[in-house]
Structure 1
Amino acid sequence: MRLVQVLIPEGNRDSVIAALDEQELDYAIFEETGRGEFEAMVQFPVPPTGVEPVLDNLRAAGVSESAYTIVLPTETVVSTRLQALEALYPGDRLSRDELKANAESLAPELATYFSFIVLSTVIATGGLLLDSSATIIGAMVVAPLMGPAITASAGSVLADRELATRGVALQITGLLLAIAVAAVLGWLLKGTVIVPPGTDIRTIPQVAERTSPGFLSLFIAFGSGIAGAISVSRGSGSTLVGVAIAVALIPPAATAGLGIAWGYAGVAGSAAVLVLVNLLAINLSALVIFWSSGYRPEVTDQHGAVRASVLKRVAVLVVALVGLSVVLGLVTYGSYQTSTFEHQATAETEQFFDQSEFSEYELESVEVDYDSQDIILGDDPTVSVIVGRPSDAAVPPDIADRLDGRLEETTGQNVAVRVGFVIGQESEPIPPTTGTSTSAMTISAPRAERPFAPVDLDGSGGP
């Protein structure tokens, strides 16, 4: 429920009262003596969804658009007409004035905004390098990116050019700043005792997760934007939803910065694509939700122009997303192909060494080197196999070629196979000693050595 207070201009008291009586609202009128152009102040309770239509009726009755108006949330209202009002105005959608006020409050001052961008990026960059999902989530609580996204969409549907421009500018500058901060921080940390020399960020799971964007990333971004628009238009849960929006933007922006710092163009480019896709999806979903919720400019004459502007923005965002979706499709297809090949190659290798002729050998590990970039560049996959053998067992000279032929026949891929052999020994278990307390007697035995023969990579039997 909302409590609305409006100043009535001179000469419009009767028409305002008639408009309130027509809608069967409970109201109270107070004489206004502080400002000469107003003769009274009226206040009345109304459900959230009724604020906008009631104010529109009052403005039609002579209340100026710039008249002093306050909308306050109320805890409890006791009125015999309350049930009829709630039936007349169901739901909890905020008025356009409340939406605009919420959007403005979500876009903080520049100093505050950029400070939180820097802090959240520093925390997220540390979380990526530490491979700590908890740290990354903590950075999202700090990131202030929900406000600009909602501000841009709200300004677009309400014909507030200044609000929309501010939202777009804050998003772009904020994300560029996040990438720059992560790049500088990565460059400073690279090669120090904090990040040891030779560290390959591409092998860090949290980084790798954001360098292979697929269609699921698009769904997450759409969900975040929809949740943000709904939470702001309903006036609930905006803080937690802001975390979801930040999760879709700050970690990939920090990943792009780390890619720049390490000189990995693939990492920087893939993460930047993910940032752009998420940004477009969040703005598109928020814009559609606000428009479909019925938010329109206050001036009726602007409805047609705003509708055309919104459709144009939606069309531009959709075209951009479709273009970037080609990249997402390639990555998704590549991930599917590499996962399928890895599963087939591992299964076939295990079956190959399960044959009776290899009963003396033991398959230790299978490693498949094949990723989405290999598919795009046309590079062949590599399968590296480590096999354990007894010291007196001979090495089959053609084992790599035979496994290569089997994998190529099964997968249809031109595969490079490497087979390495190791010689290992295992210690015999020490029988338990009966009748002796272990606290009074310690039994020690030398551990058996595990000598390893030189790795045979080509299957020829030589070192």
Structure 2
Amino acid sequence: MLHLRLIVPAPRTEEVVATLEKSVGTTHLAVVPGAARSPSGDLVLCDVAREAGDEVIGRLRDMGLAECGSISVENIDLSLSSRAEQAEEEAPGAAADAVLWEQLTNATDEESRFTVTYVAFLAVATMLAACGVMLDNAILIVGAMAVGPEFGPLAGLSTALVLRSRHLGVRSLYALIGGFAAAMVFTSGFAWLMDTLGLFTFDMFEAPRPNTSFIWQPDWMSFVVAFLAGIAGTLSLTSSKSAALIGVAISVTTVPAAANAAVALSYTDYGQFWGSTGQLLANLGGIVLAGTLTLLTQKALWSVQHKHTTD
């Protein structure tokens, strides 16, 4: 279930309440006249079955409530109510299959911002991965992949392609390209410093590294793994199962590939640099393609399921 908290201008309260009462899957409707101060108006509360949430929120947006008032949505972890159970039964489709497009857009837009924190996380993850490739340490590689925040902009790009949102697409691309460029510059400087201190050496970089050599030797399996991870990551976002994102993060080698490319560039090993760059692009492309196809499939299946249920 979802909990909606609305601030409605007093003259429009009856209209909004009537819309909610007619909407399938809504319950626990409450109106507190004059409770809102900024903006001023009435406070309207209700619970909505998740599978009906996107439609209800869409109707409220079409009424202009986001401009003249406010729409806030929260997930309800526990609701002990026979009315809530009835609302979920009446709502078409299944809650697990429902995609809240407004929530997805908002989440990916927030995660796709090119911020100091985002660049810091990506740079630290890339430097950790650099240590991992130099030491041929798979544990450090996995840790670096878990720290990397790059899935947010990747999901944002997929969402932008499906919803044809130019703003979100540009922001996501900027975060991806700018973030990885900055992280690789920082990592190249880090590699130079570590080499100066005697902690990294050219011999270490050129030595056989059986545990991490796959990072600069891309093949079709790299794309396949990234594609599958992209599906899992997108499903975790649309179903609010964020724990699955950890598994996605440690399934793809975007951060390690960027790290190896940065170190290779500092040692002027252009063979490994281009190999790592190919690995990076294969992973990024696989995730975006999988995310886009997954969202398109969910959108189509939900439309079919919704139509079949309402007929």
Name the TM tier (shorter chain): 0.7 to 0.9
Structure 1 residue 279: deviation in Å?
1.0
Task: Give the equivalent residue in structure 2 for 1:210.
Answer: 215
Report the secondary structure of 1:19's partner residue.
helix
Report the secondary structure of 1:209's partner residue.
helix
The answer on whether the counterparts of 2:125 and 2:148 sit within 8 Å (CA) in structure 1 is yes
The answer on whether the counterparts of 1:191 and 1:198 sit within 8 Å (CA) in structure 2 is no
Report the secondary structure of 2:199's partner residue.
coil
Structure 1 residue 223: deviation in Å?
1.4
> What's the TM-score, normalizing by structure 1?
0.58
Which of the residues 69, 82, 87 maps onto 2:84? 82
Cα 1:50–1:202 shift into 2, 3 Å: farther
The answer on whether the counterparts of 1:189 and 1:195 sit within 8 Å (CA) in structure 2 is yes
Which of the residues 68, 91, 98 maps onto 2:95? 91
How is 1:42-61 mapped onto 2 (pairs within 5 angstroms)?
A: 42-59=44-61
Report the secondary structure of 2:95's partner residue.
coil
Structure 1 residue 292: deviation in Å?
2.6
For 1:171 and 1:157, locate their aligned partners in 2 and report how far apart those are by CA, in whole Å: 18
Task: Give the equivalent residue in structure 1 for 2:145.
Answer: 140
For 2:19 and 2:8, locate their aligned partners in 1 and report how far apart those are by CA, in whole Å: 12
Root-mean-square deviation (Å): 2.6
For 2:33 and 2:60, locate their aligned partners in 1 and report how far apart those are by CA, in whole Å: 18
How is 1:295-444 mapped onto 2 (pairs within 5 angstroms)?
A: none
For 2:139 and 2:250, locate their aligned partners in 1 and report how far apart those are by CA, in whole Å: 14
Structure 1 residue 273: deviation in Å?
0.9
Cα 1:236–1:189 shift into 2, 3 Å: same
Aligned residues: 293
For 1:69 and 1:128, locate their aligned partners in 2 and report how far apart those are by CA, in whole Å: 48
Indicate the percent of aligned positions where both proteins have the same amino acid: 22
Which ranges of structure 2 fall in alignment gaps of 5 or more residues? 301-311
Structure 1 residue 28: deviation in Å?
0.9
Cα 1:241–1:102 shift into 2, 3 Å: farther
Structure 1 residue 227: deviation in Å?
1.5
Structure 1 residue 165: deviation in Å?
1.2
Structure 1 runs (4+) deviating above 4 angstroms are: 33-39
Report the secondary structure of 1:195's partner residue.
coil
- 2:4 counterpart of 1:4: yes
Structure 1 residue 111: deviation in Å?
0.8
Structure 1 residue 237: deviation in Å?
2.3
Structure 1 residue 191: deviation in Å?
7.4
Structure 1 residue 125: deviation in Å?
0.5
For 2:123 and 2:39, locate their aligned partners in 1 and report how far apart those are by CA, in whole Å: 48
Cα 1:262–1:207 shift into 2, 3 Å: farther
Task: Give the equivalent residue in structure 2 for 1:243.
Answer: 249
For 2:280 and 2:240, locate their aligned partners in 1 and report how far apart those are by CA, in whole Å: 27
The answer on whether the counterparts of 1:186 and 1:261 sit within 8 Å (CA) in structure 2 is yes
Task: Give the equivalent residue in structure 1 for 2:65.
Answer: 64
Cα 1:241–1:156 shift into 2, 3 Å: farther
Report the secondary structure of 1:4's partner residue.
strand
Which ranges of structure 1 fall in alignment gaps of 5 or more residues? 296-463
The answer on whether the counterparts of 1:257 and 1:268 sit within 8 Å (CA) in structure 2 is yes
Cα 1:207–1:84 shift into 2, 3 Å: same
Q: 1:86-132 CA distances to partner (integer Å, 9 max, x unpaired)?
A: 23242233422211222133235511111112211111101111111
Give 1 or 2 for the bigger CA radius of gyration: 1
For 2:39 and 2:144, locate their aligned partners in 1 and report how far apart those are by CA, in whole Å: 51
Structure 1 residue 33: deviation in Å?
5.2
Task: Give the equivalent residue in structure 1 for 2:125.
Answer: 120
For 1:249 and 1:197, locate their aligned partners in 2 and report how far apart those are by CA, in whole Å: 23
For 2:38 and 2:153, locate their aligned partners in 1 and report how far apart those are by CA, in whole Å: 39
Report the secondary structure of 1:32's partner residue.
strand
Report the secondary structure of 1:203's partner residue.
coil
Corresponding letter in the other structure for 2:83: R
> What's the TM-score, normalizing by structure 2?
0.83
Q: Higher helix fraction: Structure 1 or Structure 2?
A: 2
- 2:34 counterpart of 1:29: no
Structure 1 stretch displaced more, 207-216 or 270-279? 207-216
Structure 1 residue 82: deviation in Å?
2.2
